[in-house]
A and B are shown apart, each in its own frame.
Chain A
């Protein structure tokens, strides 16, 4: 901090503010580390696991053996430790914040943040109370999830979500949930879109109080635009959540005249 105020004199004899750059990690510019479950189904642009989705760089790390079934259905105990270990590695590499590839991992939010010591945006579901505050009185945020069979009270509680929040799953779909469940290496995107849109339309049909939708699943953002247009409502996803998360981790420099030469650091 002391170096920040040191003024140097340049060749023309003009006082120059300090532009000391600070280190402390290995990789710079990629602020968010993504903890990936072990999958090999296709992840198209818009999916969290497709690097082209992001307008800024990301770090990825795959937790081998952490398949969706082991994580969400069997809830195997070793997986949290593996996520923590991988999270710590990414923080040492350069991540300033962490996220995961699955909306059900609200369950890991507190433990990941405590163990890794950085802000964590584990799940898109964490947006539900945030979205609800935007809405006119009486309107609710509704959850569109991969499966309401998996979504339990503890997922909601760990994200600060009211237990009576309207939710709809697409587990009865004919393509999207099966591809994920079976781990297919191909997917009919058109059919998957139908599964997601139909579940979203069912959500607002069954719950007329819904005024905005939050997609739990990180594979759903490619269909958020279409769903939003069809139900005429805002749709929030892991994409909106992580672009917001990133905006705080790396506030934009708007240039002149708000920005002046100064020390440079990421942490």
Chain B
């Protein structure tokens, strides 16, 4: 049946079973958490679905809070003066065990190139980087629309750094509460109000730009409302959850078990 083919070895690995070596390789401290997440310094609640809620992820992740990187400094202030802090924290995540880096803010497309160059690992800094990939899926004549926390702060520079066309339709969820300086150490947010803001922005986006055929959510806090937004607009909705799940699928390809998988060496990237 097997056409009489000779079995060959791949570096000490026999093709047909037997007691193949199963060497495990080290080189870092923590294993199994492939994605490291740089989180903005904010006391506002991060509910399931939000990048900063660990329950969001169907795989383990590593977190590092970038102290001093408040939402207002990153969104309104173009993250000026914070690059060093982001790079240092990213390095720590990689040293601990992360094989790729992401962030908790879509405006950090600005730091994509610097983060990747500095850390030497793949970086998925911003959900906005999905815009060209989503555009490639759509029928001719359809475009991708973006919903952001602040349309006035989202500049051509942010879009270009993410590889998104500068004429991408963008709508802001005006009044997004997380941008204000918190008055309290345990601030409370009405999630129903946040959902309203996102759904209204979605209605506005499709009303003003009828050619929009899919939505990308810039903000990592909008993910919990993606499902409702998709049902409301009838459009696919991509967010940091879809982006980082895809990122993870490349960093740690799934082992599908028998018969595609055989005993062999074990290592992370």
Contacts and interface: CB of A to CB of B under 8 A. Distances in A.
Interface of A: 4, 44-46, 53, 96-97, 109-110, 113-114, 116-121, 126-127, 129-131, 133-137, 159-160, 174-175, 186, 188-191, 193-194, 197-198, 211-212, 221-230, 232-237, 239-241, 243-245, 247-260, 262-265, 267
Interface in B117-158: 117, 119-124, 129-130, 132-134, 136-140
Nearest to A263: B231
Interface residues of B, number: 82
Contacts of B262: 190, 193, 226
A211 B228 contact: no
Nearest to B123: A134
Given A113-B140, A137-B113, A221-B256, A243 B49 contact: no
B210 interface: no
B186 interface: no
Given A137-B116, A190-B7, A258-B47, A243 B227 contact: no
B138 A222 contact: no
Contact of A252 (B112, B231, B241, B264): B241
Interface of B: 1-2, 5, 7-8, 10, 15-17, 47-49, 56, 99-100, 112-113, 116-117, 119-124, 129-130, 132-134, 136-140, 163, 191-192, 195, 213-214, 223-232, 234, 236-239, 241-243, 245-247, 249-262, 264-269
A136 B259 contact: no
Contacts of B255: 225
A136 B117 contact: yes
Nearest to B45: A257
B231 A240 contact: no
Nearest to B109: A133
Contacts of B238: 247-248
A226 B229 CA distance: 38
Contacts of A248: 134, 214, 236-238, 242
B125 to A, nearest CB: 9
B267 A232 contact: yes
B214 to A, nearest CB: 7
A250 B246 CA distance: 15
A227 B134 CA distance: 27
Contact of B48 (A96, A251, A254): A254
Nearest to B230: A251
Given A236-B250, A247-B245, A254-B49, A134 B100 contact: yes
Contacts of B266: 229
Contacts of B133: 126-127, 129-130
A113 B49 contact: no
Contacts of A45: 256-258, 260
A254 B245 contact: no
B246 A252 contact: no
A237 B254 CA distance: 10
Given A188-B5, A212-B250, A225-B254, A258 B224 contact: yes
Given A134-B124, A248-B237, A254-B56, 9 more contacts: A129-B132, A136-B119, A137-B113, A194-B8, A221-B254, A226-B262, A244-B249, A255-B48, A265-B234
B7 A191 contact: yes
